[in-house]
Amino acid sequence: MSDVTSRVSERAAELRREFDRAFAEPFHVETTIKQVLLGIGVAGQRYAIRLSEAGGVHADKKITPVPGSSPVLRGIAGFRGALLPVYDLHVLLGRTTDDAPRWLVVAAAAPVAFTFTAFEGQLRASADEILPRTANSDQQIYAREILRTRAFTGPILHLPSVLEAIKALGTEALRSKE
């Protein structure tokens, strides 16, 4: 028997043993509770959003500008027969980019959408992969935690905090007109 035939026979025997062992071992069910998040990009920075805080993700929606609005309000867009205000996450997070945001996430808690530049996909994280944010920054109110997995590292945006900031901006605008 040649050397090649011998290696092929050994590999086949190894694969048979692994196959048989897979049926001999007890079935393992993952019991760790995982949180589901969305990986997004805002002006080159990676962020995550909890899927439970998002009502939907959309690409290439037409946004109609609103005259006289603040820079944070990009305009309005239609979602399943409803018009929603669309806010720019780049401006809210104090980031600048020349890229036009292609993606929108609709908040689950309010009829509002937010733009961002990149969608990186769905992420699953265990509780030990979500860490409290310790660094002081302006984004601290929006991102109180950091996600650290093998595939993704970045702050987790807290959409309810972003919504509160938008409400505060609206209240300030009303006070300045008085």
pLDDT in tens, 68-118: 778 889 999 998 889 999 999 998 888 887 778 899 999 999 999 999 999
* Dihedral sign computed on CA atoms, order 98, 161, 138, 119: negative
Amino acid symbol at 69: S
The pLDDT score that the predictor gives to residue 22 is 80
The whole-angstrom separation of Cα 4 and Cα 50 is: 52
Nearest to 114 by CA among 168, 55, 69: 55
In this prediction, residues 138-162 reach a mean pLDDT of: 86
Q: Please check the confidence at residue 138 and state whether its pLDDT lies above 70.
A: no
- Which domains are seen in the chain, by residue range? 52-177 (2.40.50.180)
Contact 45, 154 (CB under 8 A): yes
The pLDDT score that the predictor gives to residue 81 is 87
The pLDDT score that the predictor gives to residue 116 is 95
The pLDDT score that the predictor gives to residue 176 is 47
Please tell me the least confidently modeled range out of 13-17, 86-90, 132-136, 159-163: 132-136
pLDDT in tens, 26-81: 776 666 778 999 999 998 899 999 999 999 999 999 999 998 778 889 999 998 88
* Two tokens, residue 125: 């994280």
